[in-house]
Chains A and B, each alone.
Chain A
Amino acid sequence: MSQTSTIKVVYKNIHLENSHTLAVAEAQGTYSTAAKVLAMSRQEVIDEVKKSGIRGRGGAGFPAGLKWSFIPQDDPRPKYLICNADEGEPGTCKDREILRHDPHLLIEGMIIAAYAVGAERGYIYIRGEFVREAERLQSAIDEAYQAGHLGDNIQGKGIRFELNVHRGAGAYVCGEETGLIESLEGKKGQPRLKPPFPANIGLWGCPTVINNVETLTSIPDILANGGEWYAGLGVAKSSGTKLFSISGHVNKPGVHEVELGIPLKTLLNDYAGGVRGGWENLKGVIPGGSSTPILTADICAEVTMDYDGLAKAGSMMGAGSVIVLDKSVCIVRAIARLSRFYRHESCGQCTPCREGTGWLAQTMERIESGRGTHQDIDLLLDVCVNIQGKTICALGDAAAMPVVGAIKAFRDEFVHHVEHGRCMVG
């Protein structure tokens, strides 16, 4: 695998001027794959996506082809396709680039996905703050209708797919698929217990597939080049390319598409201009978004950016949202900031999360402000044990994992706060 891959699947058009317009998109071949796919059988399309091995790019990493295959095809109920564009985890800002610069590629991916699962109606659930992105998306949808790529008779092939944009209104939990469905149904976005899974009981009680923006945007190239081609990119069990948003203390923050399996050090040095102050100034990296446990600098030097590599290192791929912290950062303060976020975003539905995120935020704040005790550090771990695996959705786990990870990797900083009443880093 080339460490500085030039293969672009998701980002193949966005460098072009007016890449968001139909004229530019069509000139690059967008919608031509959908035209070919509509002549294939649904099963052939699903099989090709299965062969590609692509895993959901929203964070959970579930195989996309397998998810599509769960939709019962002999079921008389309508089927729905939802694009999850509710990007809201701190550190994560990759989908916004697609929404702004290549909405037609996303629409093409949705047409293919909808055909594969038999959905005649789809929604793009976009986070509410992305007002301009939603406008751009709507313009692209309008253009696609006019060109016959959407509607009652797509490209004259007698296939129907109607696509709409639905704006959220500022609730991180709506990025969880069942919270998203509740929200789309016009309710509080409180996640549902699973099972039943959305593939059986989803939007309005009907079979529903929910995929992330990046996942759906990868679909046209997978079908154009074949599943095996995509499976040949990246590394075993982590096929394909991935968008990584690199923020924090690097010289050139940005979003880059690379093959999975790239060493983190290469990603930071070759794509993000290196760590501010040089590699030796690195303290740690949160590799996949705020919910993923932090990696210490020595691990960062060795770890590869793929699902297994990050799991072995004690963290997770998440949405590929790399947050870089240099040695000026107080880890306790950084994690306290994240705990405040999770307390704010807990939907309040189940007790371990509602109460637990509050306990975490309060205890972190107490330690950070120099009022904590040694018992508070153990209390944090105890609260995390009582949250993890005990909540309706993964938000509770997301709140606990950064705390557990930080205490494991940087316990000395917590102890310093308790014993000296202030940060180790001044």
Chain B
Amino acid sequence: MSELQQDQRSEKPRFSPEARQEIEGIYKRYPEAYRQSAVMPILHLAQREFGGWLSPEVLAYIAEYMDIPAMRVYEVATFYTMYNLKPVGKYHVQVCTNISCWLCGSDMVMGSLAEKLKVKGGETSEDGRFTLTEVECLGACVNAPMMQINDDYYEDLTPEKVAEAIDRLP
């Protein structure tokens, strides 16, 4: 039995061979003596690999993998808002409600989404497909109001565009 299969049986987090190869590429971006710098890209990668969030087990595994103290990984993971420390839905719908979006109708966007997805801000739908989050400025102010679903921006929103964006998701 291969090492990979053993780990799957014990449910211990483990990077795929592709991810390990990607990590080797990440390490090359920084001088050998400053491997700690790779922790942020590796956390991004791990979040993608392990279901969209970072469990305590995943954080411990990253520390072990990178050979750095677990607290160094934990303090980075907890400082930045893009690292999810709780499970999120398949689609993480993040609505900017900061000033430019607020001036241009972010209340409408939140309202439309809450009605359509049947969740409030901060909640995940019962089927696990959607998590709706109100976020700070996403930096697309001239195209307000806007939202982000996973890695993509949806800009110049109207109630119709909000509904269309959700309906088009696979």
Task: Using CB atoms and an 8 Å cutoff, list the residues of chain A in contact with chain B.
Answer: 87-93, 96, 121, 127-132, 164, 166-172, 183-189, 204, 245-249, 253-255, 286, 290, 321, 323, 325, 329, 334, 337-338, 341, 344-345, 347
> Do A188 and B153 have beta carbons less than 8 Å apart?
no
Q: Nearest CB to that of A344 among chain B residues?
A: B136
| Contact residues in A for B72 (Cβ distance below 8 Å) | 186-187
B73-89 with Cβ < 8 A to chain A: 75-76, 79-83
- Going nearest first, the 7 A-B pairs with the smallest beta carbon separation are A169-B80, A170-B81, A186-B36, A170-B82, A247-B100, A247-B141, A131-B151
Known: A88-B139, A92-B141, A323-B100. A188 touches B36 (CB 8 A): no
Enumerate chain B interface residues (CB-CB to A < 8 A).
29-31, 33-34, 36-41, 43-44, 72, 75-76, 79-83, 97-100, 102-104, 136-144, 148, 151-153
Given A129-B148, A168-B80, A189-B79, the answer on whether A93 and B41 have CB atoms closer than 8 Å is no
Task: Please measure, in the bound complex, the distance between the C-alpha atom of A208 and the C-alpha atom of B16, giving whole angstroms.
Answer: 36
Distance in angstroms from A72 CB to nearest chain B CB is 20
Cβ of A170: which chain B residues have Cβ within 8 Å of it? 80-83
List 15 interface pairs A-B (beta carbons < 8 Å), by A numbering.
A91-B99, A132-B152, A164-B30, A167-B40, A169-B80, A169-B83, A171-B80, A172-B137, A186-B72, A247-B100, A323-B100, A329-B103, A334-B99, A337-B99, A341-B137
| Docked-complex contact B98 and A186, CB < 8 angstroms | no
The CA of A185 and the CA of B68, in the complex, are separated in Å by: 13
Whether A132 contacts B153 in the complex (CB less than 8 A), given A170-B82, A172-B136, A247-B141, comes out as yes
**Contacting residues, chain A, for B34 (C-beta < 8 A):** 185-186, 204
Using known A-B contacts A129-B138, A167-B41, A170-B82, determine if residue A187 contacts B36 with beta carbons closer than 8 Å. yes
- Count of A-B contacts judged by CB separation below 8 Å: 140
In the complex, chain B residues whose CB is within 8 Å of the CB of A204: 31, 33-34
Is the CB–CB distance between A91 and B100 below 8 Å? yes
User: Once the chains are docked, how many angstroms separate the CA of A323 from the CA of B99?
Assistant: 8
Task: Determine if A93 and B142 form an interchain contact, defined as CB atoms under 8 angstroms apart.
Answer: yes
Whether A186 contacts B37 in the complex (CB less than 8 A), given A248-B103, A338-B99, comes out as yes
In the assembled complex, the Cα of A323 lies from the Cα of B100 at a distance in Å of 7
Task: Select from chain A the residue with minimum beta-carbon distance to B98.
Answer: A90
Q: Are A171 and B81 in contact (CB under 8 A)?
A: yes
Distance A189 CA – B78 CA, assembled complex (angstroms): 11
- Decide: A93 near B80, CB < 8 A? Known: A166-B41, A167-B44, A187-B36: no
What residues of B have a CB within 8 angstroms of the CB of A185 in the complex? 34, 36-37
Q: Give CA–CA (A337, B135) in the complex, Å.
A: 12
Known: A90-B98, A170-B81. A128 touches B44 (CB 8 A): yes
Given contacts A204-B31, A248-B100, contact A254 B80 (CB under 8 A): no
